[in-house]
Every structure is written in C-alpha cells, then in structure tokens.
Amino acid sequence: MFSKILVANRGEIAIRVMRACRELGIKSVAVYSEADKNALFTRYADEAYEIGKPSPSQSYLRIDRIIDVAEESGAEAIHPGYGFLAENPGLGEECEKHGIKLIGPKSSVIEAMGDKITSKKLMKKAGVPVIPGTDKGVSDPDEAAEIADSIGYPVIIKASAGGGGIGMRTVYEEDELIRAMESTQSVAASAFGDPTVYIEKYLEKPRHIEFQVMADEHGNVIHLADRECSIQRRHQKLVEEAPSPIMTPELRERMGSAAVKAAEYIGYENAGTVEFLYSNGDFYFLEMNTRIQVEHPITEVITGVDLVKEQIRVASGEELSCRQEDITIRGHAIECRINAEDPLSDFAPNPGKITGYRSPGGIGVRVDSGVYMNYEIPPFYDSMISKLIVWGMDRQEAINRMRRALSEYIILGVRTTIPFHKAIMKNEAFQRGELHTHFVDEYRRGIDAEMQKIVKEDQEMVERLHSTFLPSKKVAAISAAIGAYMHSRRG
Ligand code: MV4
C-alpha cells in the first residue's frame, strides 16, 4: 500500500480523496493555485504546495509541476479526481516515466475512450449495444445522405473528438443534412483540432442511465449498479439518483453485464462509468468515463462500498475487496449539486464570499463540500461548491429527506442552485420518476415560477434570522471564526 498520495485536484473532490487517504493511514499532499491559498483542501492535506497562477493552464493542468511536487514530497501515487487532468493520457505517461502510480486506468485506455468513434467501434466488437448509425468518420455528403436515409430521420451528427455536448447537431430532414455536417465539422475542427464526424439515429427523449464499474489489475471486473442522471441543463448534471426509477432486477442484469463486458474487453482497470441512453425499453452505449465521477457518492450510499478507497487499493495492486455476488443495493439515494450560480438568471456563475453557512445533517444526510463560513469562492473554476446526498429506504423517503435537508441548508452571500433543487423535488413529474434528458427544458416554466416563490420566502427568512439571532456584526464575526477554525483543524 502507498504511504503518501498527491491529489492533483481542488475543492470537494480533493477533500473526498484525502478523507479516504486518512482512513487508510496514507499521508496526503495537496497542490494548489494562488487562488486556492485559503481553500479547505489545502488545510486538510498533510502537506500543501503552491504550483502556479489561478488559471488552470498555469496550475492544475501543469503536469510538469505536479510531477515535481510528487517527487519532492515523496508521494508514490497521484489521484487526479475528476475534470482537470483526470482524462488526460499525458498525465499517466509522465507518471510512468517518473515511477509514480497514477490512480486510474492505463493511458491507452483513456485515449481510446476519449475518441467517440474508437470507443463505439470497440463496444460494438465487444457485443455491447450501440446506437444505430455509423462507427466511422463520414465526410462525403452523398454518403451521409445515404446513411441518414437508411437509419431514418431524425439523425444526429457528432464530432468524434467531442463529448459533453460540444460538437453535436440534430437533423430532422435531408435539406438540413449537408449544412449541419459542415457546421459540426468546423466546430469540431476549431474546438478539438479534429473535424471527424459520424452519424447516428437521434433518440428524442432518452434517459441517461450509467453503470459504475470497478476493475482490479488481476482481471476482476464488477459493476456497482446504476445511476440515473437525466436531470441536467446544457450537459451539466444537476440531480442524480441511484438506482434509476425505472430499473428492474432483469434490466440491471442486462445493462450491468453489458457494462462489465465493455470494461473487460478494453482491459479496464480502476473505477469507471459506462454511460447508456435508454429509450423505449432499449439501451445503447453512449460513452465511457475513465475517472471517478462527481456523482459517485450515491453509488457508495446504496452499496456501502467506499469507491475512492477501492480505487486506491486496486491501484496499489490489491484485488477487488468484493465480488459481484457481494454487491447488494439497499434503498435509494439522491444527489443535488449545489452550485454558486443564480438559477433565476440562467444559472449565471455567482462567485463571492460565503457570509453565512450552516449545512444540513441528521439521518441519511451526507454533505461533500469544499467550503466553510467566510470562504471566498474564486471565480476561476467550476461553480460547484457542495454536493448534498441523501439516502432513504425507498425513492419517496429519499425525496422527502432531500426536501427536509434542502430546507435546513443555509448559504448566505452567494446565490446558489438550492432553490432550483427545492423546485425539482416538488415537481410532480419528478416525483413520479418520469425523467428524460430534456426534463429541465420541458418543465422550465413551472420550475421558474416555483423558484421565484422559494427565493422570496428565503429572503424573508434571512431577514428574520438577522433580526433575531444576529443583531450585531460582532456575533457573526465570532461564529464565522469558530466555523473556519473547526473546518481547518487537522485530525
Ligand atoms: C445523443 C442523444 C440522442 N440521440 N445521441 C449529449 C452528450 C453527448 N456526449 C451525447 N449526447 C446525446 N447523444 C443520440 N443518438 C442525446 C444526447 C443528449 C444527452 C445525453 C446524455 C445526457 C444529457 C443529454 C442532453 C441532451 C442530449
């Protein structure tokens, strides 16, 4: 087992990884940008090193500096978290050159899954269902028209180097096809430096259902069930739940076996996610994410498996701590991503100082967060500041518990997505589990109206809170100082 791990990330995920390290008796090393001097994760780490300017390209993406810190501090392994370098094959290659273990799959596998045509081809060969269409680049307009005709409109043009929704266009009739191809090619060329596009049948209102997989370096692969991530906006997930409301033991068996087959076929190691689109009873491979994901806690909550500890164990060469038969699902979990964004102004980022903070608790509630009272959220990074995760015996209890936890959550000083989540939890279609990837667009008017009401009530509440509990600035300053101290205390 490793004795020291460098965490090449920031915010809540850096803390999540360091928590696993601490439980395993492993020292943790933080690397941080100038903008993150006062961030919680730099205090939580056993050692912390500044590596550059706020801009990610000058700090969190600097493979050379991160490797230097690993060598200087004597870290034997690097955990990349999600985002930043997590799916950059270059990090693994450099680690290998310096005799450092990267906690993740092999670079060649990350690279193969990063190219959508390559991954689709591999999955088809592995016998995993893929969306009808091509698994090769298409550039000839006549050929494109023929393909679209044979699969039937609507179709979708996708960039092979794309992902996360950039470089995609839907086409409803032949007239639009050529123009859509040209525009997708040019977007792909400028965004990814690769103009290759392919064509698929467009599924109109699919569900996004993904499977967590875990593989060791001895050929053992298991899945840890499903998550439904259909509640998203502009390809940013907002609410995730496990299991999917439509899952049955039979469907889980079929989709889970496909996910395991996918991972086995490509020689996968460590934690990964196989994404599917589900439509009208059928499911199709979409993408594979070769990292630990933001929403991993809901899987931990229903399976009881600590995925980050498991990542560290298998990276050190140990076998998986459990077999497929040992994985059982208990109850239901929901995660709400709390972003410093104004949901009433088109989710505009709203960084700034957190002037008041009180996180929810009680039975079945987990908060994974990187913030504390009086912390200033820097404007340079993504706006997620906290994840609120709840568990219930069933979906209804989880929803009720999430509503209760959201009502306890106090964040002052910045606008957050909490009102959006309160509105979603109250939405009747959500409560019925009628989810699809266009849910937020479809119910936008109702959600907006509900949010207006909630924000107004919250403002009145804050005014009452100030007049009853915080009559003087001094009291607020003292409680802020205690809060910051408690959060930065070492174990
Ligand atoms: C699709 C699709 C419908 N049909 N492919 C969006 C992200 C990108 N990586 C793949 N995406 C989609 N591909 C076909 N053939 C709908 C989407 C899609 C989507 C997928 C997952 C989660 C959210 C989404 C939101 C809009 C569109």
Neighbours of 183 (CB within 10 A): 15
Residue nearest to atom 18 of ligand 1 (CA): 437
pLDDT band for position 411 (cuts 50, 70, 90): very high
Q: Single out the residue of 123, 141, 134 nearest to residue 156, CA to CA.
A: 134
CA 29 – ligand 1 centroid, Å: 37
Residue 486: inside a domain, yes or no? no
Measured distance CA(145)–CA(306) in Å, rounded: 49
The ligand 1 atom at the shortest distance from the C-alpha of residue 162 is 9
Give the pLDDT of residue 163. 76
> Looking at the structure, do residues 357 and 232 belong to the same domain, yes or no?
yes
H or E segment and range at residue 183: helix 174-192
Q: Which two tokens stand for residue 116?
A: 């959508």
Number of domain units in the chain:
3
CA of 156 to the centre of ligand 1 (A): 9
Q: Residue with the nearest Cα to atom 27 of ligand 1? A: 437
In ligand 1, the atom with minimum distance to the C-alpha of 275 is: 21
Tell me what the mean pLDDT of segment 293-305 comes to. 98
Is 60 exceeded by the pLDDT of residue 473?
yes
Which residues participate in catalysis according to the annotation? 291
Instruction: For residue 482, give every residue at least 6 positions away whose Cβ sits within 8 Å of its Cβ, in sequence order, or none.
Output: none
Predicted confidence at residue 468, as pLDDT, reads: 73
Distance 285 CA to ligand 1 centre (A): 11
**Dist. CA 200 → ligand 1 center (Å):** 11
Report the pLDDT value the prediction gives residue 478, as an integer from 0 to 100.
Answer: 66
Give the HSE-up count for residue 184: Cα atoms under 13 Å, Cβ half-sphere: 28
Please name the amino acid found at residue 130: V
Atom of ligand 1 nearest to the CA of 202: 4
pLDDT in tens, 98-151: 999 999 999 999 999 999 999 999 999 999 999 999 989 999 889 999 999 999
Tokens of 214: 């875990």
Q: What is the mean pLDDT of residues 342-346?
A: 96
Are the C-beta atoms of 241 and 398 separated by less than 8 Å?
A: yes
474 pLDDT exceeds 90? no
By the 8 A CB rule, do 324 and 222 touch?
yes
Identify whether residues 261 and 189 lie together within a single domain: no
Q: Quick check: is 252 in a domain?
A: yes
Q: Would you state the structure tokens that stand for residue 225, as one six-digit string? A: 């069930």
Q: Whose CA is nearest to atom 21 of ligand 1?
A: 208
- Whether 192 and 212 share a structural domain: no
Distance 461 CA to ligand 1 centre (A): 40
Question: CA 293, CA 287: separation in Å to the nearest integer?
Answer: 13
Q: How far apart are CA 197 and CA 174, in angstroms?
A: 17
Binding pocket residue ranges, ligand 1, CB within 6 Å: 131, 156, 163, 165, 200-203, 206, 208, 232, 235, 277, 286-287, 437
Q: Which atom of ligand 1 is nearest to the CA of 287?
A: 9
Q: What CATH number is associated with residue 187?
A: 3.30.1490.20
On whether residue 476 sits in a domain, the answer given is no
- What domain range is 39 assigned to? 4-103
